[in-house]
Amino acid sequence: MKKVSISEKLNLIHDHWHPRIAGELNGQQIRLVKVKGEFPFHKHDHEDEMFLVIKGDLILEFQDKQVGLSESEFLIVPKGTLHRPIAKEEAHLMMFVTAGNVNTGDLTNELTREAESLERI
């Protein structure tokens, strides 16, 4: 057992939309990521995703609405739900996802990070 400082781990991240693994439990990964701008619409057919805002603000856009999240707020996006994260300014997120989760879900592009290639911090 080893305690983890979220702020120290986030200080190791210097890019956007490239999640890092900060921990694992019960088949889930705790991922930290810095985001800025718009991520493409995508969905995860077989897994839910939890977005927890550590710093800044995040908008989660869906087909029929947008949900704004501020620091210390989270939202669980159900599997199969088309969504797009947007951060007008840099935001720091903690995500809880299934260990095999590909960040772009059903979409493959330059932002795609396969689960097995993610760096552990």
Please write the tens of the pLDDT for every residue from 33-75.
999 999 999 999 999 999 999 999 999 999 999 999 999 999 9
What is the model's pTM? Answer: 0.90
Instruction: Provide the pLDDT for residue 107.
Output: 65
Instruction: Provide the pLDDT for residue 52.
Output: 98
Pick from 88, 86, 95: nearest CA to 113: 95
How many CB atoms neighbour CB 83 within 10 A? 20
CATH T-level topology, domain 6-117: Jelly Rolls (2.60.120)
pLDDT tier at 115 (50, 70, 90 boundaries)? low
Residue 104 predicted with pLDDT over 90: no
- Grouping H, G, I as helix, E, B as strand and the rest as coil, residue 116 is helix
Distance CA 95, CA 93 (A): 6
- Grouping H, G, I as helix, E, B as strand and the rest as coil, residue 9 is helix
Residue 89 predicted with pLDDT over 80: yes
